Amino acid sequence: MTMDSSHLEDLSSTGQERVVQRICSRVAGPAVGAGVQVASLPLGGLQVWLESPSHRWRFYHRMARELRLAGWHTETGPDRLLLLGWSAVCLSHRARMLSAALKGRLADFDKTAFMAVMIATRLRHEGFPVAELPAEVETRCRDALRWPARLEDLDGLERRSSLEPLRLRLAQVAGLEAKVGCRCCEHLALASKVARTVAGGAVPARSRARSSASCSATPDSSPGVGLTERMVCVSVPNVATTRAGTAR
């Protein structure tokens, strides 16, 4: 297995320690994440451990799984988790997962629209503030997609390697991540649009503009909204539809 750990020696320039901290804290959750500690190893690499001994082994395995998905080789010990460099196998797995997301869940805009309709309708019936409804729906859809949080964790990470095969894999992964990030923006813009329609308000240009600014997608790549509009029409009460029509 091709692996390179030399790039981990200069953590201050690559920001890997901060990225690993964010990933592990997210995986551990708010109750345990505050106790995640990350430090460099003398010969390169990182070590991760938890201050609290409760269920430590379970959290280490969760963290290791997410770090492997990011492309790193990890080793799990009884009292800490070791991160030892990029792994060709793990980077290939990440590329496959990103490609699968683009062809699978992130290609299904109807599912996002349906989810947004269901969430917005339920929140509206529960008396959730209308002005805050689109942002809340977008947040919940973002959590359901999972990839936005994963990509956000990598902010500021400089990925490099002294090995040519790993450099090629890192470049491939970076390209796929850009496509996934763009697709996620489109999904979240759609969720916000649907939520505003369900809430009875006009759809702002912000959601579409944000998607266009973040991605260089062509007009043909924009998600269709035919089925979305039909689902919204079924879900929105007549009074809200009338009010929205009057506003226009």
Give, for 72, the enclosing helix (H) or strand (E).
strand 72-76
Residue ranges in the chain modelled with pLDDT below 50 = 5-13, 203-213, 217-225, 229, 232-248
d(CA 29, CA 33): 5
Instruction: Note the pLDDT of residue 151.
Output: 95
d(CA 39, CA 73): 16
Instruction: Note the pLDDT of residue 82.
Output: 93
Instruction: Note the pLDDT of residue 145.
Output: 96
Instruction: Note the pLDDT of residue 239.
Output: 39
pLDDT tens per residue across span 173-204:
999 999 999 999 999 999 999 999 988 865 44
**Number of other CB atoms surrounding residue 93 within 10 Å:** 14
Contacts of 162 (CB under 8 A, 6+ apart): 4, 6, 7
pLDDT tens per residue across span 125-146:
998 898 899 999 999 999 999 9
Question: Cβ distance 124 to 132 under 8 Å?
Answer: no
Instruction: Note the pLDDT of residue 134.
Output: 93
Please state the pTM of the whole predicted model.
Answer: 0.76
d(CA 53, CA 45): 23
Torsion of CA 167, 89, 65, 85, to 10 degrees: -40
Instruction: Note the pLDDT of residue 201.
Output: 60
